[in-house]
Amino acid sequence: MRNSGFTTEPCCKAGPGNKTRPSSVSTGMKGISVADDDNRQRFIAIALPHLDAAYNLARWLTRNDHDAEDVVQEACMKAMRHFSGFRGDVVRPWLLQIVRHTCYSWLKENRPAEVVSFDDSADAWPEHAAPAADEPHAVAQRKADRALINQAIAGLPIAYREVLVLRELEDLSYRDIARIADIPIGTVMSRLARARGLMQQALQPGARPVLRTVARHAPHTSVRGEKQ
């Protein structure tokens, strides 16, 4: 199941030089001299239309505009370099896989605390949010504040956040999500279920303090949340 779909997998594994570089991103023209004109034209025509998806994922993973731009740019450079090797039929998951990998490398360098290796079994449903029995629709019917929703997603642990964003905002299939996040489909299922459970918890009235990581890295979203 792992690494099934894309023949260019190695390009994301051994990103040249991203071990030694801290936060700066190789933006020089040097990197793409390898890619020939034909490649670049193809890249523009085929991959660039998915730039919004790339940025959306990077933005949700880094939770910061500037970092997301850096990451997406670096990911696109990588993608361009390896575009000739792309043989799959769908570009979006392929590009998102590279973006996701670049995000994780970047976070490991710059915010290692956020990407501690994730153990699904350790997070074994300690307090599943069984919706209050009398009000099952509470979450749905609440006029949920936009900022609150954003805050709740941003507050999810990254492993849950990525599957939720890929599923709900990019509308990708479990299969594609499994490829992008490099996990089995069964794990996609359980992480998604857990992510939604955590979201329900977070969106229940008066339950907001559950998500404590929000204020640290996304102060801009927490301000708006106070409105209502």
Partner 1 sequence: MNTPLDLRHLNAFLDSELSLSEQLEMETRLEQDAALRSEVAGLQGLRSTVRQQADYHAAPAALRDRIAALAGAPPVSTAAPTPQRRFALRPAGLALGLVLAALLTWGIVPRWWQATHDDRLMQQAIASHVRATLGQRLVDVASSDRHTVKPWLSARLDFSPPVHDLQAQGVVFLGGRVDYLDERPVAVLVYKQKEHVIDAFIWPTQEAESPMRASSQRGFNARHWTHAGMSYWLVSDLNQDELAVVAFSLEHQDAGDTAR
**Residue 193 interacts with partner 1 (CB under 8 A)?**
yes
Contact 10, 96 (CB under 8 A): no
Taking the C-alpha atoms of residue 101 and residue 191, their distance in angstroms, rounded to an integer, is: 18
- Among 20, 37, 112, 113, indicate the residue that binds partner 1 (CB under 8 A): 37
| Closest CB to partner 1 among residues 99, 112 | 99
Say how many residues touch partner 1, by CB under 8 A. Answer: 58
User: Whose structure tokens read 């009000």?
Assistant: 135
**Residue 96 interacts with partner 1 (CB under 8 A)?**
no
| Closest CB to partner 1 among residues 77, 112 | 77
Contact 208, 202 (CB under 8 A): yes
Contact window for partner 1 (CB under 8 A) among 4-12, 94-102, 135-143, 209-217: 135-143
For residue 146, the minimal CB distance to partner 1 (Å) is 5
Taking the C-alpha atoms of residue 187 and residue 59, their distance in angstroms, rounded to an integer, is: 23
Contact window for partner 1 (CB under 8 A) among 2-10, 11-19, 106-114, 166-174: 166-174
**Residue 29 interacts with partner 1 (CB under 8 A)?**
yes
For residue 209, the minimal CB distance to partner 1 (Å) is 19
- Number of neighbouring beta carbons within 10 Å of residue 122: 7
Dihedral in degrees, nearest 10, Cα atoms 82, 88, 92, 95: -20
Amino acid at 126: P
| Closest CB to partner 1 among residues 89, 127 | 127
Taking the C-alpha atoms of residue 91 and residue 205, their distance in angstroms, rounded to an integer, is: 40
Which has the closest alpha carbon to 23: 82, 66, 80? 66
Over the range 28-56, which residues count as b (16 or more CB within 10 Å of their CB) and which as e? eeebbeebeeebeebbeeebeebeebbbb
For residue 109, the minimal CB distance to partner 1 (Å) is 21
For residue 77, the minimal CB distance to partner 1 (Å) is 7
**Residue 32 interacts with partner 1 (CB under 8 A)?**
yes
Q: Which residues bind partner 1 (CB under 8 A)?
A: 27, 29, 32, 37, 40-41, 43-45, 48, 51-52, 54-56, 59-60, 65, 68-69, 72-73, 76-77, 80, 124-125, 128, 130-131, 136-141, 144, 146, 149-150, 153, 164, 167-169, 171, 173-174, 186, 189-190, 192-193, 196-197, 199-200, 203
